[in-house]
Chain A
Amino acid sequence: MTALQILLWVALPYVAMAVFVVGHIWRYRYDKFGWTTRSSQLYENRLLRLGSPLFHFGILFVVLGHIGGVLIPKSWTEAAGISESVYHALAVTLGVIAGAMTLAGAAILVYRRRTVGPVFSATTRNDKAMYVLLVGTIVLGLGTTVLGNLTDHPHDYRETVSPWFRSIFYFQPKPELMAQAPLGFQLHVLSAWALAAFWPFSRLVHVFSAPVGYLTRPYIVYRSRDAHLGTRSPQRGWERTT
């Protein structure tokens, strides 16, 4: 095990995860006001109407696929009676469909962002960096899958990438597994960690405010006036009592 392997497959994941978690906590506390989707629908709707649902639904399926392929151990699916070949066929078909949806959506959205004047001028450097990392990760992941299957040597990532990824979470990292994986997977994983580390500082935070609570809350929200009126927090002893 070389120092580089430890750096890439042990140190980097932990650093990225720490930045991800602490970064989100910090961002939420510091910048609730900036925590938004920053929608540009007001400027342009024709391309967005096509690209945005395509991308978002695509990436939701991609996330589900990753849960199935990375978090769920191979032994579990086999115990459930799903053979490797069935799993592989299923994963590749659904994965390529979802990946293609995501990529097509992202392509439309990036094209829109570049060509529609108001949308382009509302794009920050932060957004551009985020787009590079996000689209880069998607392209690397989809490319690795498609290339691997086209050259007919599909790598069984459930023997390398998945156990390594899980090993990080129970604090017994197995970098040697990841070191065996083909270059495409390694690049995809590195790009994903970079994206994770950048996540809390980008507009991607809106993922964590997916409004599922809307399904159960009452329609009209009543709230009492802020406990302190005026411009500052009340002095100690002057808080409202009711």
Chain B
Amino acid sequence: MRVMAQMAMVMNLDKCIGCHTCSVTCKQTWTNRSGVEYVWFNNVETRPGQGYPRTYEDQERWLGGWTRTRRGRLTLRSGGRLRKLLTIFSNPKLPSIQDYYEPWTYDYDILTTAPLQEHTPVARPRSLITGEHTKIEWSANWDDNLAGAPELATRDPLIKGIEDKVRFEFEQTFMFYLPRICEHCLNPSCAASCPSGAIYKRTEDGIVLVDQDRCRGWRMCVSGCPYKKVYFNHRTGKAEKCTFCFPRVEVGLPTVCAETCVGRLRYIGLVLYDADKVLAAASVAEEHDLLEAQRQVFLDPQDPDVVRAAEQTGIPRDWIEAAQRSPIHALINTYRVALPLHPEYRTMPMVWYIPPLSPVVDVIRDTGHDAEDHGNLFAAIDALRIPVEYLARLFTAGDPEPVNSVLRKLAAMRSYMRDINLGREPREEIAAGAGMTGEQVYDMYRLLALAKYEDRYVIPPAHAEQAHGLEELATECSLDYDGGPGMGGSGPFGESSGGVSPIAVENFRMLRDRQSSDTMAAPDEKAHRVNLLNWDGKGRPEGLFPPRRQP
């Protein structure tokens, strides 16, 4: 047993209202630079729909992820190492910018500089790729809320074979939102596809990152990832991907997408897993067994043997405790309501989803029946084959049984809690109908419905924050003034060449210290740049005000 810790996420899709706040805040944080205009580390898709980039789930076309050979070995679907090197000069499976969308801006300037004229001036769209005027034809969420669904959603790769049964007339269809980030897989095919070995999985927390100094822009990761969550920065010529906001997670803060989520539907926590079992679990013969195989890879953090093994591999005590309180472990293995996205890609993804009950509830409510009655709900889950089949294609490689089981639990929770809220006697048989006890249902309700901040995010900080805090006392670089040599900028080889400008986030604890201490926390004698964002309002840092004029 080789115990490793993995930072993972679960999203409760019933709560997603498709507001795109996560996408926007993520973009503002990570991809608001030139070269990644078209890149959304976090995007929200309306399903059924084609997704972003268009039809990325059609692996017969894109050949992402892993496949199992007849001899039972795992190999990259797009071909082995030699094949990758031979096609390196022109990647045959790279999505074009049109498969994502051509990013644009507007001629805002026209609005203020146009001469006096009869008609109101119009800001025309301009492509950020060519710089020319353009016609906007697609975007990352062009088919939001099933817009254009009769034509567009029929090309969703997941409804192949059931096209005639999925209705796209407004009144008859079902839909839900699917927010997606990088899956930070246990068996990442992007990392396996990278010829330079620049993509790596961190041993401490399992976050998958691209080493920007080692990436050489071969683009194989983009086509290797079946979720198409590695992107090519066309200005710097390097691959970029979701970082799980590691500078925040390292100091115990949730990712930006999770922190800003309006529906509070994201959960972040640790799972412990057995690294020796990953490959075998990813190679099981039957695709329907992949979900259970991955669950078996996770270890029970309460098990004393696991705790001992974890301590032996150097996982700190507070990390083990965090893994024991982890909402992720509870949702995946205790309540068993979270399911992975496309386990059939065999990458062992680590962002899991609680499938939405809402398509079922909506149908019952629309027919005038009681949508909170467990009998109605259970019957509808069994009867509504299409939404369940669709969810199964997303989350369980097409096996409806686990989806049914999750939906029954969610339905039972709905009915069981109604009795409690109305002051009636709770009925154990409802919980039993979903294979749970009333107490379990209540605990699950607390985690899913109340979803307190501390329950949703159990993130142990990395063990260097003290050193960092101490370090910050007197190590500001004296060249780090605005426009100074320490500020980066452009080198002779074009944009962002030369030394790196590091990612900085205020140390959470230090910021809290400053905000709550009675004395001045910032060293006022240091002639360093005044950062109004973390100025604590106490004292007068030098340089904040102009020097006082002597009378």
Chain A residues at the B interface, C-beta cutoff of 8 Å: 30-43, 45, 48-49, 52-53, 55-57, 117-118, 121-122, 124, 126, 201, 206, 209, 211-215, 217, 219-225, 228-232, 234-235, 238, 240, 242
A201–B498 alpha-carbon span in the complex (Å): 12
Asked whether B465 lies within 8 Å of A229 as measured between CB atoms, the reply is: yes
CB of B462 to closest CB in A, whole Å: 6
B20 at the interface (CB under 8 A from A): no
| Most central of B97, B205, B465 by chain A CB within 10 Å | B97
Contact A238–B201 (Cβ < 8 Å): no
B85: Cβ under 8 A from any A Cβ: yes
Shortest Cβ distance from residue B134 to the other chain A in the assembled complex, whole angstroms: 11
> B189: nearest residue on chain A (CB-CB)?
A219
Query: Is B489 an interface residue, CB under 8 A from the partner?
Result: no
Which 5 residue pairs of A and B lie closest in terms of their CB atoms, listed nearest first? A211-B195, A34-B497, A219-B192, A36-B237, A38-B237
Q: How close is B278's CB to chain A, nearest CB, in angstroms? A: 9
- Distance from A166 Cβ to chain B, minimum over Cβ atoms (Å): 31
Q: Is the interface of A mostly helix, strand, loop or mixed?
A: loop
Q: Are A224 and B238 CB-contacts (below 8 A) given A31-B498, A211-B85, A215-B82?
A: no
Q: Given the complex, which residues of A lie within 8 Å of B120, measured CB to CB?
A: none
Chain A proximity of B274: nearest CB distance (Å): 15
Q: Chain B contacts of A228 at CB under 8 A?
A: 464
B132 touches A41 (CB 8 A): no
Query: B109 — which chain A residues lie within 8 A by C-beta?
Result: none
Q: Which of B89, B129, B216, B471 contacts A35 (CB 8 A)?
A: B216
Question: Does B234 lie within 8 Å of A242, measured CB to CB?
Answer: no
Residues of B within 8 A of A (CB): 81-82, 84-85, 88-92, 94, 96-97, 129-132, 187-188, 191-192, 194-197, 199-205, 211-219, 232, 234-238, 250, 314, 462, 464-465, 467-468, 470-472, 475, 477, 491-494, 496-500, 502-504, 507
User: Across the interface, do A209 and B216 meet the contact criterion of CB distance under 8 Å?
Assistant: yes
Q: Are B232 and A229 in contact (CB under 8 A)?
A: no
Expressed in whole angstroms, the Cα–Cα distance for A242 and B316 within the complex equals 12
Residues of A with C-beta under 8 A to B211? 223
Specify which chain A residues have a CB less than 8 angstroms from the CB of B217 in the assembled complex.
Answer: 36-39, 206
Interface centre among A35, A52, A224, A235 (most CB of B within 10 A): A35
Known: A36-B215, A53-B90, A121-B130. A223 touches B234 (CB 8 A): no
A224 interface neighbour in B81, B204, B467, Cβ under 8 Å: B204
- A34's partner among B132, B201, B314, B491 (CB-CB below 8 A) is B491
Among the interface residues A43, A124, A214, A232, which one has the most CB atoms of the partner chain B within 10 A? A214
Known A37-B237, A53-B89, A211-B85: A217·B197 in contact at CB below 8 Å: yes
